[in-house]
Amino acid sequence: MTIRHALLALLSEGPRYGLQLRQEFEARTGEVWPLNVGQVYTTLQRLERDGLVESDGGDDDGPQKGFKITDEGRAELAAWLRTPPDLSSPPRDELVIKVLVAVELPGVDVHEVVQTHRRYLVQLMQEWTRLKEYAADRDLGFGLAVDAELFRLDAVVRWLDAADGRIKRASLEDRDLPRAPLPKTPRKVVLRP
Amino acid sequence: MTVLELRGVSKVYGEGSAQVHALREVSLSVGEGQLVAVMGPSGSGKSTLLTIAGTLEEPTSGDVLIAGEPVSGMGRDDRARIRRRCLGYVFQDFNLLAGLTVAENVSLPLELDGMPARSAVQCGLRALDELGLRGRAGSFPDELSGGERQRVAIARAVVGDRRLLLADEPSGALDSANGEAVMRLIRAACRRGVAGVVVTHDAQLASWADRVVFLRDGRIVDQTVPASGPESLLTPNP
């Protein structure tokens, strides 16, 4: 989420002071994404420059300066909410690269490499689930943010499980099949930066 | 105190060249109030581990102890008594008896153990109360949603003084909200002192456990170390 649109969203509920915006942002995201004061003020200045918010005109840039959203700001927020984020290109995934490298390296037990990452991920999930167990019912925003993190980590674990199975099957086929010369296939994997 | 202990448990099915080693030298101990998840792919031995822990099958070698008592020395009747009195099972497909009401399903294990019907029903209603299902006591299983059926199955599994809850993919047939509700109930049972073992291939479900052990080709190959504490996630990165 961009801070720009988060601030617009908070201001769409009514005028706020800078400091108030920071506190509410952190409260709404369940403090999962801490924000520093500098980020808040720089972003507010840009929003004001672009005509999306108005300040109450005080010369002082301190925490007592008030802000409100403009009609252009509301239109920008509505458009942003409905614009799908760019998920079309795969992210450069360090874990995928590690597993691809491990498969090729002689003397490396790729299953052990996979398991090391799986254990780490499940441990992280245990910590998030513990947070959810104690706090998610009390705070909708926090519950949603924790769910998102759990589903993201879960997807990575599922990929590791699938990779583990695929590598195992491939090694069994390798062992069982007579060694006929295989057609040379391109093995380069292109991962966009 | 340790409620379930497996010591060097192996299980071999078949003979000669058709032998399948379902479990190899598995050792696992689960204490009072502890929830352990056993994670592994299909065929890794998860379900075999659960049926052996539940005294439904005997290991080829190794020992199973329930509340400190070795199961291997027991006769059939004693094993059945342990199952009725100490163990509760939760299955993916609920396994409730269609012809009995919710209250009768939940109190059935107690009645089978010789408790008079009236006391058994009282115990059953208490278990239903704890899981927020008292209002469903008179319903039949086919009148309930999947999530409610699994909650009834959990009530049945923890009714009376059960010490050990064994669950096989308990949220496998449920959507994520109902799956979460089921895991919250299992956690609640553990907080009251029940020892729990959940076998699953689902990391989200396993993450409710205090400890996750990983099974592969019948062996425990790894386990999570107890977490440093969830607060660490909220500290901004340096």
Mark yes or no for CB contact B227/A127 under 8 Å: yes
In a domain, A13, yes or no: yes
Q: Work out whether strand B87-90 and strand B164-168 pair parallel, antiparallel, or are unpaired.
A: parallel
Taking a C-beta distance cutoff of 8 angstroms, is the pair A38, A46 a contact?
A: no
Mark yes or no for CB contact A128/B233 under 8 Å: yes
Q: What are the tokens at B231?
A: 């607060």
C-beta pairs of B142-145 under 8 Å, 24+ apart in sequence: B142/B98, B144/B102, B145/B178
Question: DSSP alpha helices (H): ranges in B131-238?
Answer: 146-158, 176-191, 203-206
Domain boundaries, chain B: 2-13+20-224
Would you write out chain B's pLDDT as a tens digit for each of its 238 residues?
899 999 999 999 999 889 999 999 999 999 999 999 999 998 899 999 999 999 989 999 999 999 999 998 888 888 888 888 899 999 888 889 999 999 999 999 899 888 999 999 999 998 888 888 889 999 999 999 988 998 999 999 988 888 999 999 998 878 888 888 889 989 988 998 999 999 999 999 999 999 999 999 999 999 997 655 545 555 444 3
CA A4 to chain CA mean position, Å: 17
**ipTM of the complex model:** 0.86
Same domain for A102 and A62: no
Same domain for A51 and A100: no
Q: In whole angstroms, give the CA distance from residue B37 to residue A126.
A: 11
Closest-CA distance of chain B to residue A4, Å:
20
| Chain B residues touching chain A at CB-CB below 8 Å | 39, 41, 184, 187, 201-204, 206-209, 212, 214, 216, 221-225, 227-230, 232-234, 236
Mark yes or no for CB contact A31/B212 under 8 Å: no
Tally of domains within chain A: 2
Mark yes or no for CB contact B233/A131 under 8 Å: yes
Over range A104-133, report the average pLDDT.
94
Mark yes or no for CB contact A111/B233 under 8 Å: no
Mark yes or no for CB contact B209/A154 under 8 Å: no
Tokens 């102890």 belong to which residue?
Answer: B65
Same domain for A7 and A38: yes
Same domain for A124 and A160: yes
In a domain, A183, yes or no: no
What CATH number should be reported for the domain holding residue A78?
1.10.10.10
Secondary structure (3-state) at B45 = coil
- The answer to whether residue A22 scores a pLDDT higher than 70 is yes
In a domain, A163, yes or no: yes
Higher pLDDT, B201 or A36: B201
Q: In whole angstroms, give the CA distance from residue B233 to residue B44.
A: 32
Higher pLDDT, A144 or A154: A154
Q: What is the pLDDT of residue B235?
A: 47
Closest-CA distance of chain B to residue A61, Å:
26
Q: What is the pLDDT of residue B233?
A: 56
Task: Domain B2-13+20-224: give its CATH superfamily.
Answer: P-loop containing nucleotide triphosphate hydrolases (3.40.50.300)
Same domain for A101 and A164: yes
Q: In whole angstroms, give the CA distance from residue B108 to residue B121.
A: 8
Q: What are the tokens at A133?
A: 């167990």
Tell me the pLDDT of chain A averaged across its residues: 84
- Give the chain B residue nearest A30 (alpha carbons): B234
Same domain for A169 and A104: yes
Q: How many CA atoms lie within 13 A of B68 on its CB side?
A: 2
In a domain, A185, yes or no: no
Q: Give tens-digit pLDDT for A44-79.
A: 999 999 999 998 866 566 667 889 999 999 999 999
How many residue pairs bridge chain A and chain B with CB atoms within 8 Å of each other? 71
Same domain for A48 and A106: no
In a domain, A184, yes or no: no
Q: What is the pLDDT of residue B103?
A: 94
Q: In whole angstroms, give the CA distance from residue B152 to residue B154.
A: 5
- Give the residue numbers spanning the domain of A16: 3-82
Same domain for A18 and A77: yes
Residues of A in Cβ contact (< 8 Å) with B39: 122
